[in-house]
Chain A
């Protein structure tokens, strides 16, 4: 069977995460929630530790802790702390606490790197089912609420006037973020999950004229980075998660160069036409 090949499983896992991360990553960028995504992802290591200690599924542990983290941040914001300070405190303390908690679990010291940086080559059939299940759920949520999410992103009052409660949309976004963190853990690890959300969306911005084209472009960039990064890591024997993110970063830089070159070309043509 084709799924018996570990490279095929890894490729499918990467593509699944890239697809779910695209609409979510765009919303995170538009709403300036990049650091929020980072904090949610860092909290995941605490979820891993708790899951191992209580011997329950890692997916569930990560999901619960990430959701808890997001909720605490939402509740505490506007209570005298600036959002970025609050997120800085929460992100790094949960990461540190998670690392300490993991040390209590016997026999997982070696696996720590896999949780921090991902271990996409070790994705099994059951992992694949979880990844695609979670990705499908997030894509369905995004598709269902897209118009409302977008209106709430544009302006909260505009949303209220159209009969949309922006707080509910924020909740759906937070839930989706926790799901994506939980499924992406195996692919790139807690330290690099936010990169998979932000970099493809930022790369896509240059070439997009509507929100939807930006999502499609982000999905393409994400998939290219996942598949290309996997191949590169295989041939050069480099760590897979970081290689995928490095390739995404290279695509981002390339997009910037192309956009600037295009702008210069337009200007040159315009000045020649004006002469």
Chain B
């Protein structure tokens, strides 16, 4: 069953195409990771899916009644806004204390529900945001570089948690990541994005493809993702 179907999507900022001719289908229960260099349109694609951006062309079709859980890249909480963990979890909809506690546990965090958000560490806050996204029992979980600011161990733990969540809830996961080696292990499918989709498929297939190698270098098995910005000739050049 298709949860989400993107067809011939173009997104532009001020006349400049940021995404071009994107086709993407998502099925229930699969983990799909989008990789690509900075400015390749990864976040733009996620923002288009949640409805924050209006595409110039193309269609994004969602299964009826699709519930999306979204974990942003980084959330800055203004210091003037007092906020406890439990209040954040109840935004925008109410949930019982029991549900909140089990969502927090599922996301792998056990802070006191009445802690101030601004007292949490970066990793704890990211997990609280994950827990908040889980509370609505999403069909589709969207994560935008959710492990930014976590160390290697924290990152690995976080992705293990995502896999566990997928197993327990049966939701699809669409995430953007820079941590290629970790992501390769957890993903069912990898999409390599650079304004348009350069290659897609199983992690092994993508890692072996010339387009991917041209973009990231090839020796990232040991955890060192090399960002050699050799782009395919067709991409990133502003169209005349």
Chain A residues proximal to chain B, CB less than 8 Å: 29-32, 147-148, 150-151, 153-162, 164, 202, 205, 208-214
Contact = CB atoms under 8 A, between A and B. Distances in A.
Contacts of B84: 209-210
Interface stretch (B67-75, B148-156, B198-206, B211-219): B67-75
A26 to B, nearest CB: 9
Given A210-B83, A214-B82, A161 B92 contact: no
A202 to B, nearest CB: 8
Q: Which of B52, B91, B142 has the most CB of A within 10 A?
A: B91
Nearest to A209: B82
A158 B83 CA distance: 16
Interface of B: 47, 50-52, 68-70, 72, 75, 77-78, 80-84, 87-88, 91-93, 114, 116, 136, 142
Nearest to B51: A160
Given A147-B91, A148-B92, A160-B51, A209 B77 contact: no
Contacts of A155: 72, 75
Q: Which of A31, A154, A160, A161 has the most CB of B within 10 A?
A: A161
Contact of B52 (A31, A160, A205): A160
B87 A158 contact: no
B48 to A, nearest CB: 10
Given A147-B92, A148-B92, A164-B92, A154 B50 contact: no
B179 to A, nearest CB: 21
A150 B91 contact: yes
B209 to A, nearest CB: 31
Contact of B75 (A147, A158, A214): A158
A150 B75 CA distance: 14
B92 A208 contact: no
Contact of B82 (A154, A202, A208): A208
B212 to A, nearest CB: 28
Which 4 A/B pairs are nearest by Cβ-Cβ distance?
Answer: A161-B70, A160-B52, A147-B92, A161-B50
A161 B81 contact: no
A154 B52 CA distance: 15
Nearest to B90: A147
A32 B50 contact: no
Q: Is the interface of B mostly helix, strand, loop or mixed?
A: loop
Contacts, number: 69
A21 to B, nearest CB: 16
A158 B72 contact: yes
B72 to A, nearest CB: 5
A154 B77 CA distance: 7
B75 A161 contact: no
Contact of A211 (B82, B92, B136): B82
Contacts of B70: 157-158, 160-162
B50 A157 contact: yes
B116 to A, nearest CB: 7
A211 B51 CA distance: 27
A31 B88 CA distance: 17
A208 B114 CA distance: 12
Q: Which of A155, A157, A209, A212 has the most CB of B within 10 A?
A: A157
Contact of B80 (A164, A205, A209, A212): A205
Contacts of B114: 209
A237 B69 CA distance: 59
Contacts of A157: 47, 50, 52, 70, 72
B87 A210 contact: yes
Given A154-B91, A157-B50, A161-B142, A29 B72 contact: no
B96 to A, nearest CB: 16
A162 B82 contact: no
Contacts of A212: 87
B93 to A, nearest CB: 7
Q: Which of A147, A154, A160, A202 has the most CB of B within 10 A?
A: A154
A150 B91 CA distance: 8
B87 A211 contact: yes
8 contacts: A30-B78, A148-B92, A150-B91, A159-B92, A160-B70, A161-B50, A162-B136, A211-B81
